[in-house]
């Protein structure tokens, strides 16, 4: 069982890293040959499918990677059809909006934490206060 978990984890992370690099690096995405990518993604999916026959938890890993793989292949095909620059500009706009939302949420959380600190009892100043 230990080896199965390690294999699933390794295949999952390697494939996830591949997809991440394609999505975040314009040069890698542009230079990616779609046929090679599809073959590599299918190989990873097949390994996880074979593992899932003996260890059912691997099935969810395969499903997640298949969804991400399908989205990536569709995105690359759309990018070839519509031009790479427009695809990266759209993605950058979405990323910028997500960054703003994340910063707003973080500021809100900081304010909430500050408000909650006033409700907590004062902390002991030194460890000698315990005894």
Taking the C-alpha atoms of residue 16 and residue 8, their distance in angstroms, rounded to an integer, is: 12
- Residue 127 DSSP class: G
The pLDDT value recorded for residue 126 is 46
* Residue whose entry in the numeric block shows the structure tokens 């991440």: 20
- What is the tens place of the pLDDT at every residue in 50-107? 988 888 878 888 999 999 999 999 988 888 788 766 656 555 555 555 565 666 666 6
Q: If you average pLDDT over residues 18-34, what whole number do you get?
A: 90
Percent of residues, the chain, with pLDDT higher than 70? 61
Query: Which is it for the CA torsion 116, 120, 124, 125, positive or negative?
Result: positive
- 25 has pLDDT over 90: no
- 130 has pLDDT over 80: no
- Average pLDDT, whole number, for the chain? 76
């Amino acid at each position: 069982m230990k080896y199965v978990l390690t294999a699933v984890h390794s295949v999952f992370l390697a494939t996830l890293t591949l997809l991440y690099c394609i999505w975040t690096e314009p040069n890698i995405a542009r230079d990616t040959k779609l046929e090679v990518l599809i073959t590599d993604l299918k190989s990873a999916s097949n390994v996880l499918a074979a593992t899932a026959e003996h260890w059912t938890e691997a099935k969810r890993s395969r499903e997640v990677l298949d969804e991400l793989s399908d989205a990536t292949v569709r995105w690359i095909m759309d990018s070839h059809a519509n031009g790479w620059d427009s695809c990266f500009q759209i993605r950058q706009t979405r990323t910028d909006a997500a960054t703003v939302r994340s910063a707003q949420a973080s500021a809100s959380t900081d304010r909430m934490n500050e408000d909650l600190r006033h409700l907590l009892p004062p902390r002991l100043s030194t460890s000698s206060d315990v005894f």
